[in-house]
Amino acid sequence: MTTIGAEGRPNIITIGASSICSSNPPIVGVAIGRAQYSLELIKETGDFGVNLPSADQMKQTDICGTRSGQTVDKFSACGFTVQPGSQIRTPLIEECPVSMECELVQSVPLGNHEWVMGKIVAVHVDEEILDEAGNLDSGKAQPLLGVWGEYWTLGEKLGDWHYTRS
């Protein structure tokens, strides 16, 4: 996830909990610790980027989740390129195969985290991970997943959602 403060310095944070909250309008939600620097930046600017890394970006993802943007320039530390957003002030990570530009809709305090919801206003997808019909091919994307404190990527596809519908 990317953020930027009022002073214009971009930041990256690794998020362990996220979900699509709505398809119409398209809204994504992420859980951010209430003491996190990135939460402060999102509230300053009213937008954020959701950048989905691939499995080969595991080390950079871990760096972004273990260092504070207050003291470390994570773009430089990871060798990532700042990609300007087309609809929001916050930049994206050019090297991530999928990135979404989000405008803050609502932030709900939930214990030591806040559930931050953003309306997706633009999506960027690397053409190399699309199939012949122009759809996202998860096998080509090899998304990096965080599951119970471990990093995973996809195994074999088992089926499509709603496959039991008659």
Answer yes or no: is 29 within a domain.
yes
Answer yes or no: is 64 within a domain.
yes
- For the chain, how far is it from start to end, CA to CA, in angstroms? 38
Q: Give the structural domain span for 130.
A: 2-152
If one counts every other C-beta atom within 10 angstroms of the C-beta of residue 28, the result is 20
Q: How sure is the predictor about 158, in pLDDT bands with cuts at 50, 70 and 90?
A: low
Determine the pLDDT at residue 6. 86
Answer yes or no: is 160 within a domain.
no
Task: Specify the residue for token string 């953003």.
Answer: 118
> Could you read off the pLDDT of 71-123 as tens digits, one per residue?
999 999 999 999 999 999 999 999 999 999 999 999 999 999 999 999 999 99
Helix (H, G, I), strand (E, B) or coil at 140: helix
> For residues 100 and 120, is the Cβ–Cβ distance under 8 A?
yes
140: left (phi over 0), alpha (psi -120 to 50) or beta: alpha
Determine the pLDDT at residue 123. 97
Determine the pLDDT at residue 69. 87
- Whether the pLDDT of residue 157 is over 90: the answer is no
Answer yes or no: is 51 within a domain.
yes
The enclosing domain of 87 has a CATH number of 2.30.110.10
Answer yes or no: is 119 within a domain.
yes
Answer yes or no: is 157 within a domain.
no
- Count the domains in the chain: 1
Answer yes or no: is 18 within a domain.
yes
> Across the chain, what does the average pLDDT equal?
92
Those residues whose C-beta lies under 8 Å from the C-beta of residue 151, and which sit 6 or more positions away, are: 55, 58, 61, 62, 144, 145
Answer yes or no: is 47 within a domain.
yes
Share of the chain above pLDDT 90, in %: 74
Determine the pLDDT at residue 16. 87
Distance between CA atoms of residues 33 and 17, nearest Å: 11
